[in-house]
Amino acid sequence: MALYRYTRPVDGTIPVQALLYNDEELLASQEGVGVYNGLQKSPAHQSGTVHVTTHRLFYIDRKRTRNSFALDLGYVTQTEYYAGLFKSSPKVTLHLASSATSSTSNPSSSFNPSTSSTWECDVCAYRNPPGLSPAAARICGLCGVPRGSVPSSSSASSTPPSAPSPLSAATITMHHDPEEGIPCPACTFLNHPSLRTCEICGGSLPRPARRRQHSTAASKSAPSSRPGSLYNSDLDADDDEDGEEDGEEEGGGRGEGGEVGMIKISFRKGGDKPFYNVLKRSLKGKGWEIKGYTSRTQTGNSSEPERNTIGRSGISGILRTVETSAQGRESNMKDALSDLEALMVKAGDMVRLAAELNERLTAMSSSAAGTVSSAYSAPGRTGLPEPEEATFIRSSLSQLGLQMTNAPVTLDMMKDERKWYEGLARELAGVLQGSNDGRGKEAAGMMKHRGIIALDEVWGGWNRARGVALIPPQTFLLTLPLLPAHTSPPINQRTFASGLSVLHTPPYTAAAFASRLSGLITLSGPMTTMGISEEERLTVALAGEMVAAVETDGGVCRDDAGCFITGGGVGFGGGEVRWWLNVFSGYVWDGQE
């Protein structure tokens, strides 16, 4: 079945990070998942952690780490998301490309380098490091020429992984004991089995024939990647050793070898949505394609992989990438524009319909009015009520924003408007004072810590809170008079002499502020506007406006620093006005007569 055809076992005992290719990146993980093989639960994979990387999807079983596997994202053709219902967990379905197995038909035709060892480029002699993803490992990291494109007589003997036979062993990693390495005949250093020369002394290492078979399989670390197209032979090897456990499932898998496979991941412990998003992004990013080869292009034109690879590297490769991305962008744009055009056509229809309706209504009401007014002349046409349906239709039209110019504003519509303003006022009250109802304290409200706030800020904040269907300033101003009825303590509007309008709570009425200000001055002496603004936690401009209002009422008087004899002033900023209590009111002459 799909699970066994597409996936490849990995060693679940080592952390996922260590299983990654060098150019692979772990994007997200989610524990508590189960895997469905096709439509059935896969009993061996019911409790584990799933990781998504730029290249692959890993499943690491929690208990039986042997059941862990990796799935190349390149096989995934389509994903589905199921949100879950009652006891059924959310699931993500991965549809896998049916062509994935086609490349296995002629494994010898395509070149399958093992990524677990270094190899030397035939062209530039660059020693490519192990650990790259299969796609990236196919081409030389330095010159971009695909590996093996130049037939080399020495490749068979010099590069062990070039032989197809060890590849079958590459997947059996977990059943092997870690290789102790190859002792150097010169210095006896135990070298990594994949090395051909001694790391210490540089002498060439012996390659025992028996060892060679498993030299690549021995590396348990990251690069234990899958030579994708040879999977069937891998499976065989796996089955041979692991047959007693997975025997019956594998048998089923053989049965439906040819059809399109799918795998479901069931999220028992949630986390499905973010994971699905990451998965989608990873699929979109096509990280496994970036370096050149993809499993799909390979299967598409497996006969000429070399040409493809060459085209993908170097300057021509860059040019082609740019071209492709430009094409993609263009097609996306075209799609979007065609959508928009369709919408516009529909909107035109809507407007036409509205106009027709409105005309018909006007004609009907005028004819009705004509007949009625001929019957009794005194009240005139103004008193005639329109049919209820007509007003309803018109008000609905106006609510849709399709109001015709010749459509009168009916009482019905007015009623709706009033209701609308009421609703707006209620909403604004929520924005200003916070909505405590329902789910606890989610919004603090703009005026939670401030008693006074300028209108422009309120308008901006409100519209930001709305996000859509923004309120025009006119509507905003019409809403304000209704605000005190919906707020507690009531929030009132106040306009200063300069024309600045604010919303304020009771502590900021003129009288309350004046008394507080006089108390403040009595307590701490004459103050500048700046000091008052600090004390009151207002902006300087706003404090200035409020003090000016108090001055107009005669509550305070000014002491201008311009009247200083020396300098701009002593101790405080020059040119500034300090506010005093009104020393003149109630003053009785106590000087010389």
Partner 1 sequence: MALSTHTTTTGFLLPSIHSAPPFFTQQPNPTTQSIASEQWIRLILSYARHRRLFTLRVEDAETAGNDWDEVLRNERINRRVLPSYLSAIIASMAAKNVAAYEPPKQNRSALLYWRLPEEWAEVLHEWAISTGQLNTILTFYDITDPPIESPLTNIPLPLLRKAITILAKTNRAQLIGVADGEGVRFFAGSK
Site residues, partner 1 (CB under 8 A): 522, 525-526, 551-552, 554, 557-560, 562-566, 569-570, 577-578, 580, 582-585, 587, 589-593
Phi, psi of 389, rounded to the nearest 5 degrees: -60, -40
Residue identified by tokens 């002491």 is 559
Please name the residue that has the structure tokens 């992989």.
305
- AA identity, residue 267: F
Q: Smallest gap, in angstroms, from Cβ of residue 527 to partner 1?
A: 12
- In the bound state with partner 1, the residue whose beta carbon lies nearer, of 270 and 562, is 562
Q: What's the closest the beta carbon of residue 588 comes to partner 1, in angstroms? A: 9
End-to-end CA distance of the chain: 117
Please spell the DSSP secondary structure of 431-459, one letter per residue.
Answer: HHH---SSSSS----TTSS-SEEEHHHHH
| Nearest distance in Å: CB 498, partner 1 | 13
Place of tokens 């079945």: 1
Among residues 306 and 551, whose Cβ is nearest to partner 1? Answer: 551
Shortest gap between Cβ of 577 and partner 1 (angstroms)?
A: 8
Residue number, 220 or 578, with CB nearest to partner 1:
578
CB of residue 530 to partner 1, shortest distance in Å: 17
Distance in Å, CB of 502 to partner 1, minimum:
21
CA–CA distance, 193 with 199 (Å, rounded to integer): 11
Closer residue to partner 1 (CB): 82 or 580: 580
DSSP 31: E
Given a contact cutoff of 8 angstroms between Cβ atoms, the answer to whether 5 and 253 are in contact is yes
Residue with smaller CB distance to partner 1, 108 or 585: 585
On whether the CB atoms of residues 218 and 180 are closer than 8 A, the answer is no
Under 8 Å between Cβ of 376 and 366: no
Residue 260 has phi, psi (to 5 degrees) of -65, 130
Q: Which is nearer to partner 1, 467 or 586 (CB)?
A: 586
Cα 199-204-209 angle, rounded to 5 deg: 110
Quote the least distance from Cβ 565 to partner 1, whole Å.
5
Q: For residue 160, what are the CA distances in angstroms to 128, 196, 202?
A: 14, 9, 18
> Sign of torsion, CA 513 515 518 524?
negative
Minimum gap (Å) between residue 539 Cβ and partner 1: 22
In whole angstroms, the minimum distance from the beta carbon of 570 to partner 1 comes to 6
Please, which residue, 147 or 578, has the CB nearer to partner 1? 578
Which residue, 15, 69, 52, is CA-closest to 221?
15
* Helix-helix angle 388-399:314-375, to 10 degrees: 160
Q: Considering the complex, what minimum distance in angstroms separates the CB of residue 511 from partner 1?
A: 17
Instruction: Supply the minimum distance, in Å, between the C-beta of residue 545 and partner 1.
Output: 14
Beta carbon nearer to partner 1, 252 or 525: 525
- Which DSSP symbol is given to 114? -
Residue closer to partner 1 (CB basis): 68 or 529: 529
CA-closest candidate to residue 296, choices 69, 146, 103, 137: 103
Q: For residues 401 and 571, which CB has a smaller minimum distance to partner 1 in the complex?
A: 571
Q: How many CA atoms lie within 13 A of 505 on its CB side?
A: 14
Instruction: Please calculate the CA angle 466-470-475 and round it to the nearest 5 degrees.
Output: 115
Nearer to partner 1, 255 or 525 (CB): 525
* Nearer to partner 1 (CB atom), residue 195 or residue 557: 557
Q: How far apart are CA 272 and CA 302, in angstroms?
A: 36
Torsion angles phi and psi, residue 463, rounded to 5? -65, -35
510-524 vs 529-536: helix crossing angle, rounded to 10: 110
Distance CA 276, CA 91 (A): 9
Nearer to partner 1, 267 or 579 (CB): 579
Name the nearest CA neighbour of 52 among 82, 67, 31. Answer: 31
Give the whole-angstrom CA distance, residue 99 versus residue 211: 34
Q: How far apart are CA 522 and CA 251, in angstroms?
A: 95
Q: Rounded to 5 degrees, what are φ and ψ at 31?
A: -95, 170
- Please report how close the Cβ of residue 551 comes to partner 1 at its closest, in angstroms: 5
Residue 520 CB, nearest distance to partner 1 (Å)? 13
Residue 344: helix, strand or coil by DSSP?
helix
Would you call the peptide bond into 489 cis, given omega within 30 degrees of 0 as the criterion?
yes
The answer to whether 70 and 58 are in contact (CB under 8 A) is: yes
Identify which of residues 394 and 578 has a Cβ nearer to partner 1 in the complex.
578
Cα-flanking dihedrals φ and ψ of residue 454, to 5°? -75, 150
Q: Which is nearer to partner 1, 330 or 560 (CB)?
A: 560
